[in-house]
Structure 1
Amino acid sequence: YKNMPTANLPFLIFLYILFWLINFSSTLVIGNVESSRSLTAANMLGYVVWFFAMFSISSIAQNMEDERMQGTFEHLHLSSVDIKSIFLVRALIHAIESIVIIAIFILIVGLIHRVVVFTNIYSLLVLLILLPGLYGFAFFLAGLVLMMRSKEAKNWLAILIYVLLVPLLIPERILSPAVREIFSYFPMFQSVMMLRKLNIERIPLNLMGVDFVKLVITSILFLVIGLLIFDIADKKAKKKGILGTY
């Protein structure tokens, strides 16, 4: 992330091409919509959460696997600082970088498509509450990766992650009611639904009390469960001597 923003220009172009494909596909699937700008804004809100989810996974789960491949993951355990705290601090630093990237990207999309993505200031509160849930999900995945020795198993896990996060990128009206109900218990999808209600449907936050409480609870639960799973996996890996990948 050196020489911002020029170093990230290819990445921003990639992000826009991917978003354009998603937006174009949504238009084809849904057909004629009342407002193409509303659809673009709705897709962009899902895209923002997807971006933060992928960035969280990269800064924790992928970062940990890179450390294992380089043989430095074992060295981190020699530090007086807890291993989870090390990765959490790194993730928070990466979060600042990701905010800069996504802010530039939102500006680009807004100028090209003439759409305002965020119209409600409380959207920032929703994203802030989502953050613990994203990190919990990333630690959960890091724990699974730590317990896996097979490269094929890790590849299948990566595919599963992408499949699970795909609904973030599409309008929820495409999903069946049963699928929407299942995903409503995941903070990533809850936050997207709330962001769309706040910014597209213009529903005030005080009328979404149940959704708000649900997001807070599930986000905290995801963080607690993720940290527990990672801690268990880390202890087992130390006992088996598989902190490194050789």
Structure 2
Amino acid sequence: MYAKLYAFIYIRGFKIWTSYKTQVILTILSWTLPVFTYYFVGTSLGNSIVSKIGVSNYTSFFVIGLAFQGYVSSVITTVSQRIRNEQLYGTIEYYVLSKSGVTSFLLYSSMWGFTINTINALVILSVGLGLGVNYHIDILASLLVIILLILSTLGLAFLSGAFTMIIKQGNPISFFFSTFTTLMTGVVFPVAVIPSFIRGVSYVLPLTWALETLRETMLEGASLPQVAFQLLILAIFDAILLPLGILAFKLAFKKARIKGTLGEY
């Protein structure tokens, strides 16, 4: 396991990523610039206007949202893009037919996505600290929320991988979670301000529950008993999405093998 983690995270991920210095700089800028954008937007609007959307400290609100939104959108995109790249390179068969198996290939491929987005989250949280965000973190509760969010994201990533395996391009799962999560899950504004006829969609997405809970555990110091209900909801998402994602990817892989389209792009 350690050898696989080393190969996928360090050699296949970090070593290749850091070899492109310009890309590293641009990636870090893409993490930090939105923080300043929303900070100056909130500052220019003024506290009286910002408070009307039900947020007492707007900087704290969007910093948590931006820091952890990437765990969903970027990881899902990374996994589907990894499969897509292996199809283009002609190496997908070697990965999925290896001793590691189909599920292992997808799981270890997602590890780099989680690693880079952990760095992303830490950078954004650090910038938020410099902008005056006061963190009151219950470490145990926050870590448990993040773990539950990661598990649900794995399920969604597997679903995204299943689509890529079959349709090659135009992945609806990846498109939705890379485009609409900022709008629908309370990343930069509360879900409460979304029109009521579509607000229900927000609460069938695990990221909505995770962000609301993380704001409580990281900004208000809420403990495990205080967020027990939200943790239960996230656990239910995990129990549904993770097996569903694994099953979908295995079925897609089987279908691609039967049709002989595994390496097509």
Aligned to 2:260: 241
Structure 2, unpaired ranges of 5+: 1-13
Q: Deviations over 1:130-149 (max 9, x none)?
A: 11100110110111122214
- Distance in 2 (CA, whole Å) between partners of 1:124 and 1:180 is 27
1:81 aligns with 2:81: no
Aligned to 1:224: 243
1:19 aligns with 2:35: yes
1:214 aligns with 2:230: no
Q: Deviations over 1:90-142 (max 9, x none)?
A: 3224423432342133212321x121356232212100111110011011011
Shift of residue 192 of structure 1?
Answer: 0.7
Q: 1:117 to 1:60 in 2, by over 3 A?
A: farther
1:12 and 1:105 in contact (8 A); partners too: no
Structure 1, unpaired ranges of 5+: none
Give the secondary-structure state (helix, strand or coil) at the position aligned to 1:33. Answer: helix
Q: Which residue of the other structure, out of 152, 156, 178, is the alignment partner of 1:162?
A: 178
Q: Deviations over 1:50-100 (max 9, x none)?
A: 111133213321111111111111122331221211221232244234323
- Paired residues, number: 241
Q: Which amino acid aligns with 1:63?
A: R
Q: Which amino acid aligns with 2:189?
A: P
- Distance in 2 (CA, whole Å) between partners of 1:203 and 1:157 is 32
Q: 1:10 to 1:211 in 2, by over 3 A?
A: same
Aligned to 2:5: none
Shift of residue 36 of structure 1?
Answer: 8.1
1:109 aligns with 2:128: yes
Give the secondary-structure state (helix, strand or coil) at the position aligned to 1:114. Answer: coil
Shift of residue 19 of structure 1?
Answer: 2.8
Q: Which amino acid aligns with 1:11?
A: T
- Distance in 2 (CA, whole Å) between partners of 1:181 and 1:117 is 30
Q: Deviations over 1:184-224 (max 9, x none)?
A: 23222110111123334554431332221111111231111
Q: List aligned pairs for 1:1-246, cutoff 5 A.
A: 1-2=14-15, 8-24=24-40, 28=45, 31-33=49-51, 38-111=57-130, 113-117=131-135, 119-121=137-139, 122-149=141-168, 151=169, 153-154=170-171, 158-166=174-182, 167-168=184-185, 169-172=187-190, 173-200=192-219, 202-246=221-265
2:67 and 2:124 in contact (8 A); partners too: no
- Distance in 1 (CA, whole Å) between partners of 2:189 and 2:138 is 19
Which has the larger displacement, 231-240 or 13-22? 13-22
2:159 and 2:249 in contact (8 A); partners too: yes
RMSD over equivalenced CA pairs, Å: 2.9
Q: 1:55 to 1:162 in 2, by over 3 A?
A: closer
Q: TM-score, normalised by structure 2?
A: 0.78
